[in-house]
């Protein structure tokens, strides 16, 4: 679960400024993700999101609650082909689908972008055993289709994630950096150069293991951006190991 309460945003020039007309943004989001192995070196992921979005400004109060995006991935490593190497490596590909109808109304907050995304990423990981520390990361490209309802193409994105984590007895920790860098959107066939999105964050997390469950808490701290809300995002989560066999 993520929560952000902010009056600030990254402008098109990357500077932090107040929302126009005394705007105030409050976002609470719940993400439920499941992953399951299909074969040695092959697994599948699924994620559904739920959002409660509220925005106040001089023009009034707007709020929307419901299902956001649904994401599906398939990940394969060389082990699926009977190969192996000194560094764990995998390729993950996926699709994002809008989980609810996109409102063609400027007074209604959308819960998604109303279009499909396709993405592929290269994942790497390594354990520093005997030290209880691991490294992981990925870099990828996201193809974003046009929203035909409003003739808006949000622009493709390059994204990355890099993290170090480990365990201290029952305690867990992770320090990550993540970012996305978008191309300019196209509105009704016209490229909007100052609409390009960018967000770079530092994400510290700490947790505690209780049996097969790990409870986590942390923050997403923005350090650079364009055309995104600015301010810390607080997060709590639960990770559960499970098996159907």
What Rg do the C-alpha atoms of the chain give, in angstroms?
Answer: 19
Query: Residue 38's pLDDT band (boundaries 50, 70, 90)?
Result: very high
Does the pLDDT of residue 141 top 90, yes or no?
yes
Q: How far apart are CA 71 and CA 47, in angstroms?
A: 5
Does the pLDDT of residue 228 top 80, yes or no?
yes
172 bridge partner residues:
167, 207
pLDDT of residue 245: 61
Enter the pTM of the model. 0.93
Closest CA to 7 of 143, 22, 219: 22
Q: What is the mean pLDDT of residues 91-95?
A: 98
Give the length of the chain. Answer: 245
Q: What percent of the chain has pLDDT over 70?
A: 99
Range of the domain at 136: 35-44+71-240
Task: Answer with the residue of higher pLDDT: 105 or 144.
Answer: 144
Q: How many domains does the chain have?
A: 1
CATH of residue 133: 2.40.160.40
Does the pLDDT of residue 23 top 70, yes or no?
yes
Q: Lowest-confidence range among 24-28, 99-103, 178-182?
A: 99-103
Q: Is 19 contained in some domain?
A: no
Q: Is 29 contained in some domain?
A: no
pLDDT of residue 244: 67
Does the pLDDT of residue 230 top 80, yes or no?
yes
Q: What is the mean pLDDT of residues 138-150?
A: 95
Q: Is 1 contained in some domain?
A: no
pLDDT of residue 109: 86
Backbone angles phi, psi at 151, to 5 degrees: 55, 50
Q: Is 120 contained in some domain?
A: yes
Q: Is 54 contained in some domain?
A: no
Closest CA to 40 of 91, 80, 86, 73: 80
H-helix segments, the chain = none
Q: How far apart are CA 4 and CA 28, in angstroms?
A: 7
pLDDT of residue 154: 94
Asked if 7 and 19 count as a contact pair (C-beta separation under 8 A), the reply is: yes
Does the pLDDT of residue 68 top 90, yes or no?
yes
Q: Is 200 contained in some domain?
A: yes
Q: How far apart are CA 118 and CA 144, in angstroms?
A: 6
Locate 3 and state its tokens: 């929560």
Locate 154 and state its tokens: 């949000």
Q: What percent of the chain has pLDDT over 90?
A: 82
Q: Is 138 contained in some domain?
A: yes
Q: What is the mean pLDDT of residues 206-215?
A: 94
Asked if 136 and 160 count as a contact pair (C-beta separation under 8 A), the reply is: no
Q: Is 226 contained in some domain?
A: yes
Q: What is the mean pLDDT of residues 187-208?
A: 96
């Amino acid at each position: 679960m993520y929560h952000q309460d902010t009056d600030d945003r990254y402008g098109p020039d990357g500077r932090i400024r107040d929302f126009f007309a005394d705007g105030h943004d409050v976002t609470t989001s719940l993400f439920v993700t499941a992953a399951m192995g299909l074969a040695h070196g092959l697994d599948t992921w699924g994620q559904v999101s739920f959002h409660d979005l509220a925005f106040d400004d001089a023009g009034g109060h707007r709020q929307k609650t419901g299902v956001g995006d649904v994401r599906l991935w398939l990940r394969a490593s060389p082990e699926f082909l009977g190969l192996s190497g000194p560094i764990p490596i995998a390729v993950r590909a996926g699709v994002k689908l809008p989980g609810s109808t996109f409102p063609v109304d400027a007074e209604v907050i959308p819960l998604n972008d109303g279009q499909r995304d396709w993405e592929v990423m290269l994942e790497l990981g390594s354990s520093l055993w005997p030290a209880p520390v691991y490294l992981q990361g990925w870099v990828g490209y996201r193809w974003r289709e046009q929203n035909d309802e409003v003739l808006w193409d949000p622009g493709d994105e390059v994204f990355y994630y890099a993290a170090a984590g480990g365990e201290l007895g029952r305690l867990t920790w992770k320090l990550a950096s993540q970012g996305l860098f978008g191309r300019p959107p196209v509105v009704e066939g016209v490229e909007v150069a100052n609409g390009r999105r960018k967000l770079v964050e530092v994400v510290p997390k700490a947790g505690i293991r209780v049996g097969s469950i790990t409870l986590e808490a942390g923050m997403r701290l923005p350090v650079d951006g364009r055309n995104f809300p600015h301010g810390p995002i607080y997060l709590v989560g639960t990770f559960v190991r499970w098996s159907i066999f």
